[in-house]
Amino acid sequence: MKSQLKLYNSLTRRKKIFTPLHPPYVGMYVCGPTVYSEAHLGHARPAITFDLLYRYLLHLEYKVRYVRNITDVGHLENDADEGEDKIEKKARLEHLEPMEVVQKYLNSFLKNMQDLNTLHPSIEPRASGHIIEQIELIKEILEKGYAYEINGSVYFDVLKYSKKYNYGKLSGRVLEDLQASTRTLDGQNEKKNPFDFALWKKATPGHLMRWPSPWSVGFPGWHLECSAMSTKYLGDVFDIHGGGMDLLFPHHECEIAQSTAATGNEPVRYWVHNNMITIDGQKMARSLGNFITLDQLFTGDHPMLQQAYTPMTIRFFLLQAHYRSTIDFSNEALQAAEKGLQKLLKAIETLKKLKPSLTSTVDIKALWNNCHEAMDDDLNSPMLLSHLFDGVKYINSANDGSEKLTAADLESLKKLFNTFVFDILGLKDEASGGNEEKLADDLMKIIINLRQDAKNKKEWGISDKIRDELKNAGIILKDLKDGADWVKE
RNA sequence: GGUCGGUUUACCGAGUGGCUAGGUAGCGGUCUGCAAAACCGUUUACGGCGGUUCGAAUCCGCCACCGACCUCCA
């Protein structure tokens, strides 16, 4: 474990070499989705960012417990809804049980995650399954004196907390500024201070999602589940906490406050935040209505989409940008990603067929170093891809005969691509597989052979006819030096 | 208004005080019965104005513009 992995910590705002609290074990908690509608492109960003981190940690031979929560309790939507629960609202609209809604969109989310080839987290705890833990946590915070009860609701006492601890250190907030800028919200008159936040809310009569507690029949506050579940599965102090940058404040700030108030410990050692996906320069978000769901991307069924994009194209597209940069959606960018990915995968196929030479004219060891350095530098996947494309050039040049590779270097190169492209970047070749594919491949081989016969006899009329009619059927033939390749239009 | 971040070539997107990032597109070439594809090569940069420096796109200051967060949000 002599990893030189450097991670950017949002708390300290600098990159630092990652060292786990209890090597070789690593605890990682990532904020998962609220399952009340289809996952969109934005949800793919943290999924892939933290999948990349997870995969790289595994590559470095850490034993990782990766926890990603499922928020199925629901949070307040906005004042217009009078505190109505997000999931509850959707349930009324569709005449479904709240848990039915949750199940439906959870299934859909997990399917999308599988399509994107993300590894399953070690634990995917649901907020609704941890109400007891959340109640216990509230009790602890009350005991320590950092919360107060009013009318069956419990609020976190930010002012009192800030006398001993630093509230706002993660997001750079200053308490006085917060006081001045906090908006009037429902239930605010109950709170001692506008910046106090709910740990437990008493349910209004129409509120469907409700649980008994020592204070009232109600539901847990907005930020509590992550504190309760991360503590339960990873301990009072754990290594990595991830999530979108938009969760920095207030969500993660409140999480720190809750956990610190309860245990006296700083809960998280490395805060890692992914940036947003933008569309026309603006954040893609459900609330802004400018989102494209993952299913829509995969099928092409959205007015903004010129075509369908495969899950691996989406994955490659996201990996081409560093996780802390915004990445702008456009058809042009996705099409570029699609072509780039094909080029990469094609070279890997070519690599399998290369014949060894007695000497090498390229330095594969240096390539290994470059690839590791890129990943070690705060998961610089775009830099890694750039190095991998150096490898692509080596392969194609060797195929052309302008570069040479020894048998050992060929093996090393195969291992390198296997490790970085498939294991770490989590890409896969989508074309291979399926009985249908196999049948089509066999049939096409026969047709291509017949056409080759015609070509050998210089019967251009026949060979062109075969090509033209295949084109009408949606298949494009590409003549190669020896034989031909084909691709669906 | 406060806090934080960004502005890179046609597009996406890295990076760094002096050395071609990369992908896509474009252009030139190789291959080829033709076409397409593939492969090889290659042009166009670092928001503006000052400063520090032998040297800045990279550091500092000011300005302009854009965005995120401050409310559920990935």
What local confidence, expressed as pLDDT, does residue A92 receive?
67
- The long-range contacts involving A287-293, CB below 8 angstroms and separated by at least 24 positions, are A291/A40, A291/A41, A291/A42, A292/A40, A292/A41, A292/A329, A293/A38, A293/A39, A293/A40, A293/A41
Structure token pair of residue A185: 């919200």
* Separation between Cα atoms, residue A244 and residue A247, nearest integer Å: 6
Summarize pLDDT for A405-461 with one digit per residue, the tens. Answer: 999 999 999 999 999 999 999 999 876 555 566 677 778 888 888 888 888 888 888
The answer to whether domain A19-274 has CATH 2.60.40.420 is no
Q: What is the pLDDT of residues A286-311, one digit of tens each?
A: 888 889 999 999 999 999 999 999 99
Minimum-distance nucleotide, CA of A287 to C1': B73
Burial class (CB in 10 A: 0-12, 13-18, 19+), A38: middle
Could you give the CA distance from residue A177 to residue A163 in angstroms, rounded to a whole number? 16
CB of A462 within 7 Å of some strand B atom: no
Burial of residue A373 (CB within 10 Å: 0-12, 13-18, 19+) is middle
Buried/exposed A388-412: b ≥16 CB within 10 Å, e otherwise: beebbebbbebeeeebbbeeebbeb
Retrieve residue A449's tokens. Answer: 């052979």
Nucleotides of B under 7 A from a protein CB: 1-5, 11-15, 21-25, 31-41, 66-74
| Cross-sheet strand order for the sheet of A25-30 | A63-68, A25-30, A238-244, A268-274
Q: Of A68, A210, A75, which Cα lies nearest the Cα of A126?
A: A68
Does nucleic acid strand B have an atom less than 7 angstroms from the CB of A171?
Answer: yes
What totals of helices (H) and strands (E) does chain A contain, helices first? 16, 15
- A403: CB within 7 A of chain B nucleic strand: no
Alpha helices (H) along A320-419: 331-353, 364-376, 381-400, 407-417
The Cα A478–Cα A480 span in angstroms is 6
> Which amino acid type is present at position A425?
L
Gap between the terminal Cα atoms of chain A: 47
| Strand nucleotide closest to residue A45 (CA to C1') | B74
For residue A7, what are the β-bridge partners? A16
CATH number, span A278-424: 1.10.730
Domain locations in chain A as residue ranges = 19-274, 278-424, 435-488
Assess whether A332 (CB) lies less than 7 A from strand B: yes
- d(CA A346, C1' B38) / Å: 10
ipTM of the complex: 0.92
Q: What is the pLDDT of residue A138?
A: 96
Tens of pLDDT, residue by residue, chain A (489 residues)? 456 899 999 998 889 999 999 999 999 999 999 998 899 999 999 999 999 999 999 999 999 999 999 999 865 443 334 455 677 777 666 667 788 888 999 999 999 999 999 999 999 999 999 999 999 999 999 999 999 999 999 999 999 999 999 999 998 888 877 766 544 444 456 888 888 999 999 988 777 788 999 999 999 998 999 999 999 999 999 999 999 999 999 999 999 999 999 999 999 999 999 999 998 888 998 888 889 999 999 999 999 999 999 999 999 999 999 999 999 999 999 999 999 999 999 999 899 989 899 999 999 999 999 999 999 999 999 999 999 999 999 999 998 888 999 999 999 999 999 999 999 999 998 765 555 666 777 788 888 888 888 888 888 888 888 888 888 887 878 777 667 777 776
Measured from the Cβ of residue A459, the count of other Cβ atoms closer than 10 Å reads: 13
- Amino acid letter, A243: G
Q: Check residue A391 and give its pLDDT.
A: 95
